[in-house]
Structure 1
Amino acid sequence: MTPSSLLEDTYVAGLQHDLVDISSEATLVGVVRRPTGWFRTAIDENCSALGPPDDLLDEFKQRHEDFKMQGLCDEGAHNAAWDEVGFDERYRTHLTEAAEAQSAVAELTDRLRNEEHLVLVCFENTDQKRCHRTLLKDYIADQL
């Protein structure tokens, strides 16, 4: 197996409601900046450094609410806010420039190279909404 084949991602509700097929051997790594208690019970560990930075999260959430107030559905508001705040670019900048994120990525890539099966977990169901964990998964795969 290649290290990148040992890296997956999913959303917490999928785990809680048995909607996803994840190996029991996998380590569930939360990548949430502000994990709730119930989120922590669904994962093995959380790496807050790989969650979006607070300023990006706050701006995104405000724009999301603004779009919902304008009548967009939740998914439409989410994706419109994502585009408006430049989420992709700003999150990638966080991964490449924040020392805590660089260190966390290095640790995860080392674990993958040592053949540990990792599953990145956050809140969003990516069938409907864009999510930072898919950007993170691609970024880590590129590092391998």
Structure 2
Amino acid sequence: MGVVRRPTGWFRTSVNENYPELGPPENLFDEFKQRHEDFKMQGLCDEGAHNAAWVEGGFEDWYRSHLSDTAEAQEAVAELTARLQDGEQLVFVCFENTDQKRCHRTLLKEHLAAQL
């Protein structure tokens, strides 16, 4: 199950469901990507730039607020919580392809676990 705002063509064909409301909000994502690129221009590797942008931009706090304060995210969280309570196993997919990069999926999983 995808949790991205901007699914690409290959993503749409590879993932059977997507909850865009659980992807980072557009403004947060855009700011994060710009910080990421700035850090890469300063000489950091891709993973280092990614993680530095995550910390410097306060990504965790922004994303947690999004999950708690946005009606569309709250609805999606309620739906997923109900599915988990019914015993369904869910796997979240986004674009981060390495464990070395911080990812909003981890924050989403923590948020869902707290709801259970």
- TM range, smaller chain: over 0.9
| 1:87-110 residue CA offsets vs partner (Å, 9 max, x unmatched) | 000000000000000000000001
Distance in 2, matches of 1:139 and 1:126, equals: 21
**Letter of the aligned partner of 2:80 in structure 1?**
L
CA distance in structure 2 between the partners assigned to 1:90 and 1:141 by the alignment: 19
Residue 103 of structure 1 corresponds to 75
Query: Could you tell me which residue of structure 2 aligns to residue 43 of structure 1?
Result: 15
Counterpart Cα distance in 2 of 1:45 and 1:141: 20
- Which sits farther off after the overlay, 52-61 or 33-42? 33-42
Is 2:30 the counterpart of 1:64?
no
Tell me which protein shows more strand as a share of its residues: 1
> What is the CA–CA distance in structure 1 between the aligned matches of 2:98 and 2:115, rounded to whole Å?
23
Task: Answer yes or no: is 1:55 the counterpart of 2:27.
Answer: yes
- Please name the residue that 1:116 is paired with: 88
Post-superposition offset of 1:125 = 2.9
Moved over 4 A (4+): none
Deviations 1:59-80 (A, max 9, x none): 0000000000111000000000
1:77 to 43, 46, 49: 49
Structure scoring higher RCO (CA < 8 A, sep ≥ 6) equals 1
Deviation at 1:43, TM superposition (A): 1.1
SS in 2 for 1:30: coil
Give 5+ residue unaligned stretches, structure 2: none
**Greater helix proportion:** 2
Aligned to 1:34: 6
Gaps of 5+ in 1: 1-28
Structure 1: how far apart are the matches of 2:109 and 2:98?
13
Aligned equivalents of 2:16, 2:90: Cα separation in 1: 10
Which stretch has the larger CA shift, 60-69 or 115-124? 115-124
Distance in 2 (CA, whole Å) between partners of 1:110 and 1:66 is 40
